[in-house]
Amino acid sequence: MTVPDMITILPFIVVSATTVVLMLLVAFYRRHPLAAGLAGVGLTAAFAALFAVRFYAPSRQVTSLILVDDFALFFMGLLFAAGFAVVLLSYGYLKDRPGNREEYYLLLLLATLGSSVLAASSHFASFFLGLEILSVSLYGLIAYPRTLDESIEAGVKYLVLSAASAAFLLFGMALIYSQLGTMEFSHIASAQASGTNPSNLLVLAGSAMLFVGIGYKLSAVPFHMWAPDVYQGAPAPVSALISTLSKGGIFAVLLRYFTVVDIRGYESLYVMIAVVSFASMAVGNLLALLQNDVKRILAYSSIAHMGYLLVAFLAGGTLGATAVAFYLVAYFVTSLAAFGVVTVLSGPDEEAEDLEDYRGLFWRRPWLAGAFTSALLSLAGIPLTVGFIGKFYLLAAGVAPALWVLVVTLVVTSTIGLFYYLRVVATMLSRPTGQAPALGPSPSSQGVLALVALMVLLFWLGVFPTPLVQMIQETVAGLG
């Protein structure tokens, strides 16, 4: 490894070193505020290291496994920021809960490391390594409240289905390697460009199995059945982590791989992904209409949003990549805000997940009701929020290549989604009848800080998105 190589992977080194230091600290001195503070400082330092990488060693291939370019740096910054927000939300959530809390931050750091490795992957080996670091960390985080049966059940479900998705991924990689003799994304693209038949049965089957494995992680239909149960059983900040950090890293590697290896060369696979996109939008929104659990509503909403993102992904080109990246930013901000409100309202003995828990919230904690309403309206794509700008770019990306069926489905299902978002808002605005539902403890200062920052971003990027759009356009310009 040369010095430029070491500088290039500095963000990974910082997060890994923070994890090791925290592990040693926990072994000798347990202190929840110290553990949370160290995790936050480590993620902040990793985020700052991205600027050093951008200045000293931009767009550098480190071995054949890792490519740290503008695209990777952008997504790593997004993932580190999301991880930091989850640390802030988790501190107040765990503060009054019994049991050991320090190991939680170890797993959170490892999950962030795994997702950032995915964003910089340029080889199947690093892809799978990053995915497993992320997945194994999530097993522990989901089942962290060991005394709760539903958390253990959710952890086991995620474990079993993650193992199944990993099997699909590995078999797909093996099929592609058996035909092309390489696992590097760029070499696979070169084999395609040099005349190797992309519709070869082994390559096509391998690519399809690769997407099946990715579909499980994205909870896209028909690979979505685990999502509502896992979201409901996991601690609220972990649900936020699954919804953002996990899916962001997966979408980053999906976008890189199928941009470098042109997906349009695989017509059958293209059609399959289009069907998955259509089904995710329809099923996610329709099933959310039937839910009375807020975390399950957000889980089905997440399924629908993955379908929306696949529309821009299928559109391809610079506009499609820009739409995907911007919508992921919008989704991160909005989803973290929504789950953040659920987190700060959850008490040490019970999660604030039943819809009735939110009845009359506007009259009891108006600022939290306002924050939740803003997040839900952004998920619905209402103007003045970042979600509206994100939906606009998705539609623009889908219209350009005339993906009319998917574009119409996006519009219709977004309208359906507005109903269940407004249903939650109406519940918060209604006056409680009889005994008002119990509220959790007062939000911690860290949780308030995270929610305020997310609200500022939600409206700022909704009103003035130009700087972010320009940054994303420069980021995706060299992709592929």
Q: Mapped to the 3 state alphabet, what secondary structure does 304-337 carry?
A: HHHHHHHHHHHHCHHHHHHHHHHHHHHHHHHHHH
Tell me the pairing of strands 60-62 and 66-68. antiparallel
For residue 264, pLDDT over 80 is answered with: no
Q: What are the residues facing 66 on neighbouring strands?
A: 62, 121
Binned at pLDDT 50, 70 and 90, residue 195 comes out as low
pLDDT of the residue at 370: 94
Binned at pLDDT 50, 70 and 90, residue 335 comes out as very high
Per-residue pLDDT tens for 84-125? 999 999 998 888 887 788 899 999 999 999 999 999 999 999
For residue 305, pLDDT over 80 is answered with: yes
Amino acid identity at 301 = S
For residue 191, pLDDT over 90 is answered with: no
How open is the CA angle 468-469-470, to the nearest 5 degrees?
A: 90
Per-residue pLDDT tens for 248-257? 999 999 998 8
pLDDT of the residue at 461: 94
Secondary element (H or E) of residue 60: strand 60-62
For residue 201, pLDDT over 90 is answered with: no
Q: In angstroms, rounded to a whole number, what is the distance separating the alpha carbons of residues 128 and 113? A: 13
| Domain-wise residue ranges, the chain | 3-476
Dmax over CA atoms of the chain, in Å, equals 73
pLDDT of the residue at 439: 63
Closest Cα partner for 441 from 347, 355, 370, 351? 347
Token couple for 4: 């430029």
pLDDT of the residue at 374: 95
